[in-house]
Amino acid sequence: MQATQTMLAMRGVSKSFLGVRVLHGVSLDLAAGEVHALVGENGAGKSTLMKVLAGEHVPDEGSIVLDGTEHAFSHPAQAQTAGIGIIHQEFALLAHRTVAENVFLGREPTRHGLVDRRAMEARTAELLADAGVSGITPRTYVRDLSVARQQTVEIVKALASDVRVLVMDEPTAPLADHEAGLLHDLVRRLAARGLGILYISHRLREVFELSQRITVLKDGRHVTTAHTADTDTDQVVRAMVGRELSAYYPPRAHPDDIGEVRLTVTGGGNDRLRGIDLALRAGEITGIAGLEGSGRTSLARALFGAAPFTGGTMTVGGNALRPRTPRQAIRAGIALVTEDRKAEGLALRQSVRDNALLVTRAVPARGGPPAARELTALLERVRLQARGEDQETRYLSGGNQQKVVIAKWLAARPRVLLFDEPTRGVDVGAKAAIHTLVRELAREGIAVLIVSSELPELIGMSDRILVMSEGRIAGELSAGAAEEDVMRLATTAPSGDPSALSGKDSLA
């Protein structure tokens, strides 16, 4: 794809909210057929800039020029008419309507004053075919589609109104690895058709795979725009945080630091897992790798009693116990930081304090709630940045929300700490803080298990790595294993049924 002529230019865009300046004269341009990535930590201003472009915010200063015409959008509909489409992180689809009805929502083709369903469905089928999408029919109900396919419908919906510029705000965040691969293919096809794509992402690897240029924002300011071919991950991360990449992962455990066995599973299984043998030791971080659907999340939830083992034996702290409920697991000193922080990790409308104390209040066996001073020390320890302990957790950034979840478990003094995607949706700065904290906790003698779909994180953090495939543990790798080794194990079917494998080449 050649970035030849500028199609869209944003010049000197500034925006303040209630006197707080969140964008300082940011400029950005985009060529037809280009994928232009926008990266930066949470709070850098990426989303605000894109909302200005989409007419959702009116800028205080600056201009937007599209195809040589200057625009001043005061409403999203104007931006849409001008050819700007935006795919938000939260989809705006009606679950109980069909794909075609969603694609043409509010602009249904009519015939004699009535909705022309046939034309609508035919046109939707054309759009789906144009985009090279298979497996979705115009008459499918959106509620029956996976998250990935719903996202595709969102994109097709934008295409239906002849967009020139498509903004995608962290499109792969809710997707599994192989789904992300399919999305990348779709993005490339759209760019090849001459659309300009502004692509926001935290995942630098996909940014480098997809984009022609990368723009880094920090604290509402433009830091740099570089051709992807002329830069590398180190440079981009440095621009984002002003920190070296090597500071990313804390040093691993010495063999002397690893102590007694805290948890064992022998022959554990349920409808998603088979023949799980596992031992977690004090002071050690055990990583669980695997493709989406390989059973890595199921394993964490089984250990925690949320989706319990139905067979096999398990010991915790030397005592036989196979938890049937989370409460039993918690009483035995097991904690789980779940993958879905907003739905499962926090009561979002409650304060930082109430969330941090929730486990100790609910399960007196873990020693009761800590005193106010201890709680404050605990929140400082997880390096929480909040306005105060009374702040409702829904107003915190993803990273700080995650720190509250961790504090909630630490208050109950766990002996086994399970993390499912410890840094999903967390910005780079908070990521490093969480990594450091997790290693500290291991060093203090907690047995830690990390499930992560981000291989660099998993390899960087783990003292040993168990690779899962089809509900089994396919193999074990020592610290610092290469990504290729992990992938090789993850894509090898232990049961000798290669036809069950569909996502072999799509591990992103």
Distances (CA, A) of 304 to 80, 298, 330, 365, 473: 47, 10, 8, 16, 18
Residue 327 half-sphere exposure, CB side, CA atoms within 13 Å?
A: 5
Which range touches another protein (CB under 8 A), out of 265-273, 390-398, 435-443, 487-495? 390-398
Query: Binding of another protein at residue 222 (CB under 8 A)?
Result: no
Query: Binding of another protein at residue 211 (CB under 8 A)?
Result: no
x/- map, 168-187, another protein, by CB under 8 A: -xx-----------------
Nearer to another protein, 17 or 482 (CB): 17
Alpha helix (H) residue ranges in 350-450: 352-362, 372-381, 398-410, 428-443
Query: Binding of another protein at residue 380 (CB under 8 A)?
Result: yes
Q: Are 16 and 60 contacting, i.e. CB atoms less than 8 angstroms apart?
A: yes
Instruction: Tell me which residue of 166, 248, 237 sits closest to 208, measured CA to CA.
Output: 237
Nearer to another protein, 167 or 447 (CB): 167
Site for another protein in 36-55 (CB under 8 A): 40, 42-48, 51
Please report where in the chains the tokens 């904290």 appear, as a residue.
437
Number of residues that bind another protein (CB under 8 A): 61
Which string of b and e fits 468-506 if b means at least 16 CB within 10 Å? bbbbbbbbebeeebeeebbbebbbbebeeeeeeeebeeb
Nearer to another protein, 382 or 441 (CB): 382
x/- map, 286-305, another protein, by CB under 8 A: ------------------x-
Whole-angstrom distance, CA of residue 33 vs CA of residue 55: 22
Query: Binding of another protein at residue 390 (CB under 8 A)?
Result: yes
Query: Binding of another protein at residue 338 (CB under 8 A)?
Result: yes
Please report where in the chains the tokens 């970035």 appear, as a residue.
3
Query: Binding of another protein at residue 354 (CB under 8 A)?
Result: yes
Q: Are 52 and 15 contacting, i.e. CB atoms less than 8 angstroms apart?
A: yes
Which range touches another protein (CB under 8 A), out of 289-297, 308-316, 347-355, 433-441? 347-355
Q: Which of 7, 10, 13, 23 binds another protein (CB under 8 A)?
A: 23
Site for another protein in 435-464 (CB under 8 A): none
Bridge partner residues of 336 (DSSP): 418
Parallel/antiparallel/unpaired status of strands 20-31 and 6-17: antiparallel
Q: How far is the CB of 418 from another protein (least distance, A)?
A: 12
Q: How far is the CB of 168 from another protein (least distance, A)?
A: 12
Nearer to another protein, 139 or 394 (CB): 394
Burial of residue 459 (number of CB atoms within 10 Å: 0-12, 13-18, 19+) = buried
Nearer to another protein, 167 or 291 (CB): 167
Q: Which of 336, 426, 447, 455 binds another protein (CB under 8 A)?
A: 336
Q: In the structure encoding, which two tokens stand for residue 432, read together?
A: 């490093």
Query: Binding of another protein at residue 347 (CB under 8 A)?
Result: yes
Q: Which of 53, 136, 357, 438 binds another protein (CB under 8 A)?
A: 357
Q: Which of 1, 226, 245, 363 binds another protein (CB under 8 A)?
A: 363
Q: How far is the CB of 27 from another protein (least distance, A)?
A: 17
Q: Which of 135, 364, 367, 480 binds another protein (CB under 8 A)?
A: 364
x/- map, 54-93, another protein, by CB under 8 A: ---x------------------------------------
Query: Binding of another protein at residue 320 (CB under 8 A)?
Result: no
DSSP 196-224: EEEEE-S-HHHHHHH-SEEEEEETTEEEE
Q: Which of 127, 167, 358, 473 binds another protein (CB under 8 A)?
A: 358
Which string of b and e fits 101-112 if b means at least 16 CB within 10 Å? bbbbeeeeeeee
Query: Binding of another protein at residue 374 (CB under 8 A)?
Result: no
Instruction: Tell me which residue of 487, 506, 343 sits closest to 424, measured CA to CA.
Output: 343
Rg (CA), the chain: 24
Instruction: Tell me which residue of 216, 93, 201 sits closest to 454, measured CA to CA.
Output: 201
Which range touches another protein (CB under 8 A), out of 20-28, 222-230, 466-474, 481-489? 20-28
Nearer to another protein, 317 or 398 (CB): 398
Q: How far is the CB of 478 from another protein (least distance, A)?
A: 32
Q: Are 265 and 271 contacting, i.e. CB atoms less than 8 angstroms apart?
A: no
Alpha helix (H) residue ranges in 243-348: 296-303, 326-331
3-state secondary structure of 29: strand
Whole-angstrom distance, CA of residue 86 vs CA of residue 79: 10
Nearer to another protein, 56 or 232 (CB): 56
Which range touches another protein (CB under 8 A), out of 256-264, 277-285, 372-380, 459-467? 372-380
| Chain contacts with another protein (rule: CB under 8 A) | 15, 17-18, 20, 22-23, 40, 42-48, 51, 57, 169-170, 200, 220, 304, 306, 326-327, 330-331, 336, 338, 343-350, 352, 354-355, 357-359, 361-364, 369, 372-373, 376, 379-380, 384-386, 388-390, 395, 397, 408
